[in-house]
Amino acid sequence: MYNISNEKLPTDFKNSKFVMISDMHNSFYGKNNEKVLNTIKDINPDFIVIAGDMPVANTENETINLKTAQFITDLADISDIYYGFGNHEERMMEKELLKDSWEKYYDVIKTYKGSHNIYCMNNNMLRIYKDKSFINIFGLNLELKFYQRFSNEKLEADEIIEKVGEPDKALYNIIIAHNPDYFESYVGWGADLILSGHVHGGMVRLPFIGGVISPKPRLFPHFDYGKYEKDKSIMLLSNGLGSHSIKLRINNIPEIVVIQFE
């Protein structure tokens, strides 16, 4: 569990907690992912954040992608979900061969009618209320060029403003930003809390060294897992729940992240 404090957090949010999951990539733990569902039920979060890459973006995964979409709706029976997209969701939206598969996946989510809400955070902002107070949550969805292998695409704070708007820096601002490589850009934009995934913890984790490789690919990536701080901004980087093309996780336990405000 991460305990987060910030002078901008409203008093009503003190001692509230939420869960972040990411990078499930159609991985299942028990029938219909009951182990994940039951764990999150026991945590009893005020809300749930998904930090991207729940499905796998290729033409062979349509059926199991729909099963993942159904899991997300099951998760929404616990509490509201703020679903930020990763490169796999973006690929399904961008690539012509995958658009029909995306529509079917997305239809399961958007037609959910249950106890809570599923908010798809596709370059937009919402307010999370508790009693009469609120905090802001943004969902940043980056184009595939920001994920290309061996690329060094830059992301400026002004580009983030163009996508999601400019944050009110007098308020507490969370941004769901799947790719952690742009941590300093998120800080420059004005994020108080950044929620990321994508790196899978470096797939293989070595004692005292950390993650071995990122999807770029990059050996021993600086941002691989855990908590990072700059000025008053914090990034929490999940090691994810699954893997896809190279199904490799060594010393790298799948993770449900719990965050509590102090």
3-class DSSP state for residue 95? coil
Residue type, 181: D
Amino acid letter for position 52:
G
Q: Write the DSSP symbol of residue 97.
A: G
The string of pLDDT tens digits covering residues 177-202 is 999 999 999 999 999 999 999 988 75
Q: Which helix (H) or strand (E) holds 156?
A: none
CB 146: neighbour CB atoms within 10 A? 18
pLDDT band at residue 248 using 50, 70 and 90 as cut-offs: low
* Rounded Cα gap, residues 130 and 240, in angstroms: 28
Look up residue 187 and give its two tokens. 């800080």
pTM confidence score? 0.94
5: Cβ–Cβ under 8 A, 6 or more apart, which residues?
A: 261, 262
Give the angle 157-159-164 at the CA atoms, nearest 5°: 95
Rounded distance between C-alpha atoms, residue 255 and residue 236, angstroms: 12
pLDDT digits (tens, 9 = 90+) for 102-139: 999 999 999 999 989 999 999 999 999 999 899 999 99
Tens of pLDDT along 54-106? 999 998 899 999 999 999 999 999 999 999 999 999 999 999 999 999 999 99
- Three-class SS state of 68: helix
C-alpha distances (whole Å) from 154 to each of 135, 183, 218 are 28, 12, 16
